[in-house]
Amino acid sequence: MNATRELIENYIRSWNETDPLRRRSLIEDVYAEHAAHADPMIQARGWKGIDATIAAVQEMFPGRRFALAGEVDAHHGLARFQWHLTAPGADEPLVVGFDAAELDESRPRRIHGFLDKVPQAA
């Protein structure tokens, strides 16, 4: 496995970790200290902001899991990848997203997220 794919798998793992101490440790291992994450629904900066964002997403989608969907494409300090948020046993993902990461010394310093599929409001 190449280093960039392993990094992105750990990034996904941080979004699935529900134990606050283990999640914060993963965040500090994965992200640059002052990293920023933005998608159409959120904007977070730094380890504390990213941690709070992940906790809020987990609260909004209890029991759902993030998974890498396909290969990680990377070059010149950039990586892009698709992910799914699914419920256990579901045939289709609830949310489909696409992230682009700007890497700084092999750690994301900026994540640009795009949402390809989101649940419809009832």
For residue range 60-97, list pLDDT tens digits in order.
999 999 999 999 999 999 999 999 999 999 999 999 99
Q: Please indicate, yes or no, if residue 91 is contained in any of the structural domains.
A: yes
Q: Please indicate, yes or no, if residue 41 is contained in any of the structural domains.
A: yes
pLDDT at 119: 84
**Structural domain containing residue 108:** 3-117
pLDDT digits (tens, 9 = 90+) for 15-33: 999 999 999 999 999 999 9
Q: Please indicate, yes or no, if residue 35 is contained in any of the structural domains.
A: yes
What is the reported pTM?
Answer: 0.93
Q: Please indicate, yes or no, if residue 122 is contained in any of the structural domains.
A: no
Number of domains in the chain: 1
* CATH code assigned at 39: 3.10.450.50
Q: Please indicate, yes or no, if residue 19 is contained in any of the structural domains.
A: yes
DSSP character string of the chain: --HHHHHHHHHHHHHH--SHHHHHHHHHHHS-TT-EEE-SS-EEEHHHHHHHHHHHHHHHSTT-EEEE-S--EEETTEEEEEEEEE-TT-SS-SEEEEEEEEEETTEEEEEEEEEEE-PPP-
Q: Please indicate, yes or no, if residue 23 is contained in any of the structural domains.
A: yes
